[in-house]
């Protein structure tokens, strides 16, 4: 089976004539020109994404000034940001310990390693480097989100998908010293590489994603399964590149988990660290109980917790719609495993909406509905409302909510 035939398994017939944009064909321009052409095509999506996030930043700055303090500490050094900066500065601990929420081995290494590397060759503090890195990665992520949407359903859908991702209810995290933007960038381009039959790129990016966040296991599962199925469909024997991708994709996640176990001297070391953070798999029981409490029994529910609950419920509903629309299997596997990890954990409830932030394929049904809307006013109203809601909730999360984002 040819590479183009492999792509047909994932791409609707209306989108197949476009070919493989990053595979060299006779007479086609070089790699740099193809990248520039792709970037120009993504221009409206990136401008829309920037507009959404700048609105959020402007509102946050205005409200922070009204409260008598600046934006910088909220974005660059709060909560998990301080953990990553600590790892970039001092490295990891070498023992398990017994105190709750004090072991930095719970945090994956790629983001703090990049912060440390760039801080060594650029001016400014590690906090400023980390923040700039997140902003740059968010733009690369938005480009990748657009590329996936465009590949499947055309430019309009790709553009709307990128804007909706920027307007995620907790989208402010995309411009904080957190790993979500880096992870989403790796995820989006890895999934795009799968859709275009670039197996080595897909596997390599999935491996890096596995070094970025625990939910890298979701991307590893998607890439590995897609690669193995590609080998099965191929007549005349498996494709070496797909086999390499299937093996390479989970190595980042497995490598860090194994390294933590070796560092603390026990096979289940990483999972023991997670238990110290009160983060264990229970199949979703704790999530269901918390949802029921917040939605039905809490006499005075907190706004941010209600928003988190709404995101979790909406995530499940959108996944059902993704199944009904028969999204490409790699996207369904990624978002399905992501939901299983996030909803099946008994850990802290409040960050769950943030954990779903990289699941941009869940937004495809909304992007498609907007792309098919006949009236531009409808699209404008929905995008404006989503932008304002994201900006307001982001400011509330950082300035009013006392817990982690």
pLDDT score recorded for residue 29: 57
- State how far Cα 257 lies from the chain centre: 20
Ranking 1-10, 179-188, 326-335, 390-399 by mean pLDDT, the lowest is 1-10
Task: Give the pLDDT confidence of 166-178 residue by residue, as tens digits.
Answer: 999 999 999 999 9
Q: Are 174 and 57 in contact (CB under 8 A)?
A: no
**CA 120 – CA 316 distance, rounded (Å):** 43
Residue 16's pLDDT band (boundaries 50, 70, 90)? very low
Residue 184, judged by CB atoms within 10 A of its CB (0-12, 13-18, 19+), counts as buried
The tens digit of pLDDT for each residue in 282-317 reads 999 999 999 999 888 888 889 999 999 999 999 999
| Radius of gyration (C-alpha) of the chain in whole angstroms | 21
pLDDT of residue 295: 85
Contact 84, 179 (CB under 8 A): yes
* Res 6: pLDDT: 44
- Give yes or no for a contact between 115 and 133, defined as CB atoms under 8 angstroms apart: yes
252 vs 102, more confident: 252
CB 170 within 8 A of CB 353: yes
**Model confidence, pTM:** 0.93
How many whole angstroms separate alpha carbon 144 and alpha carbon 137? 10
Please give the mean pLDDT across all residues of the chain: 91
- Residue 98's pLDDT is 83
Q: How confident is the model at residue 231 (pLDDT cuts 50, 70, 90)?
A: confident
pLDDT at residue 8 in the model: 47
Better-predicted residue by pLDDT, 211 or 32:
211
Closest CA to 397 of 346, 338, 344, 353: 353
Distance CA 134, CA 187 (A): 15
Q: How is the chain split among helix, strand and coil, in percent rounded to 5?
A: 70, 0, 30
Q: What is the pLDDT of residues 45-99, one digit of tens each?
A: 999 999 999 999 999 999 999 988 889 999 999 999 999 999 999 999 998 988 8
CA–CA gap between residue 228 and residue 220 (Å, rounded): 12
**What would the mean pLDDT of 270-288 be, rounded to a whole number?**
92
pLDDT digits (tens, 9 = 90+) for 120-170: 999 989 999 999 999 999 999 999 999 999 999 999 999 999 999 999 999
In this predicted model, what pLDDT tens digit does every residue of 310-362 receive, in sequence order? 999 999 999 999 999 999 999 999 999 999 999 999 888 999 999 999 999 99
């Amino acid at each position: 089976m040819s590479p183009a035939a492999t792509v047909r398994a994932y791409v609707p017939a209306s989108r197949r004539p476009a070919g493989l944009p990053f595979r060299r064909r006779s007479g086609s321009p070089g790699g740099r020109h193809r990248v520039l052409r792709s970037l120009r095509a993504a221009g409206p999506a990136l401008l829309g994404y920037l507009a959404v996030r700048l609105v959020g930043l402007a509102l946050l700055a205005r409200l922070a000034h009204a409260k008598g303090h600046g934006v910088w500490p909220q974005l660059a050094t709060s909560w998990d940001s301080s953990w990553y900066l600590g790892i970039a500065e001092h490295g990891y601990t070498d023992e398990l310990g017994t105190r709750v929420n004090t072991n930095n081995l719970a945090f994956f290494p790629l983001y703090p390693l990049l912060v440390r590397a760039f801080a060594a060759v650029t001016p400014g503090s590690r906090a400023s480097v980390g923040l700039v890195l997140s902003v740059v990665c968010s733009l690369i992520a938005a480009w990748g989100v657009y590329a996936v949407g465009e590949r499947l359903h055309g430019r309009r859908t790709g553009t709307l998908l990128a804007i909706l991702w920027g307007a995620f209810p907790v989208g402010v995290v995309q411009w904080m010293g957190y790993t979500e933007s880096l992870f989403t960038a790796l995820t989006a381009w890895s999934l795009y590489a799968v859709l275009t039959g670039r197996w080595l790129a897909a596997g390599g990016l999935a491996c890096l994603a596995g070094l970025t966040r625990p939910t890298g296991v979701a991307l590893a599962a998607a890439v590995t399964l897609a690669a193995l199925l590609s080998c099965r469909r191929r007549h005349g024997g498996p494709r070496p590149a797909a086999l390499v991708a299937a093996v390479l994709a989970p190595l980042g996640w497995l490598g860090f988990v194994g390294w933590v176990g070796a560092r603390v001297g026990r096979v289940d070391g990483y999972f023991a660290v997670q238990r110290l953070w009160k983060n264990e798999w229970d199949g979703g029981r704790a999530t269901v109980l918390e949802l029921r409490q917040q939605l039905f029994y809490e006499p005075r529910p907190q706004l941010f917790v209600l928003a988190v609950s709404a995101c979790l419920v909406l995530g499940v509903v959108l996944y059902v719609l993704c199944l009904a629309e028969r999204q490409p299997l790699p996207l369904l596997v990624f978002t399905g495993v992501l939901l299983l990890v996030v909803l099946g954990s008994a850990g802290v409830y409040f960050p769950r909406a943030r954990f779903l932030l990289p699941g941009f394929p869940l937004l495809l049904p909304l992007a498609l509905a907007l792309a098919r809307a006949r009236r531009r006013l409808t699209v404008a109203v929905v995008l404006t409302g989503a932008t304002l809601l994201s900006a307001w909730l982001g400011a509330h999360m950082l300035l009013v909510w006392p817990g982690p984002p």
